[in-house]
Amino acid sequence: MAETDSRDSGCRVTQKSQAMTLKIECSVHRGFTIFALTGRLDKEHVPELERLFGARTDYGKVIVELKELRFADRDAVRFLSGCEKGGLKLKNCPAYVREWIDRERNG
């Protein structure tokens, strides 16, 4: 697995071989930190997201854009659910991820 740093955002793009698994783009807009996730979100990506999100002290000012998310495994969905419960906002959450989060919360 190769990791490269994005010069503009300070975020990482994680790749497996030549095929990208998850791309994380960071931006700031009107006081909100926005993380756009593209591709596949697996258990292996959770520690990197914890590091990135953990650097923000106010989850209420963090938005995770999921419009280009193509896949999320169980650990990733549980992580996103916990972050949302802590105040982080999930934008354009795929329907299957939203349903999964709701099922996790409602038992």
CA distance 26 to 105: 28
Per-residue pLDDT tens over the stretch 71-82: 999 999 999 999
Per-residue pLDDT tens over the stretch 10-59: 565 554 544 568 999 999 999 999 999 999 999 999 999 999 888 666 77
pTM: 0.78
Structural domain of 79: 2-106
Beta bridge partners of 68: 38
Q: In the chain, how many domains are there? A: 1
Give the domain CATH number at 57. 3.30.750.24
Neighbours of 91 (CB within 10 A): 12
Which whole-number Å values give the CA distances from 72 to 46, 56, 62, 98, in the listed order?
A: 11, 23, 19, 11
Helix (H) or strand (E) holding 63: strand 62-72
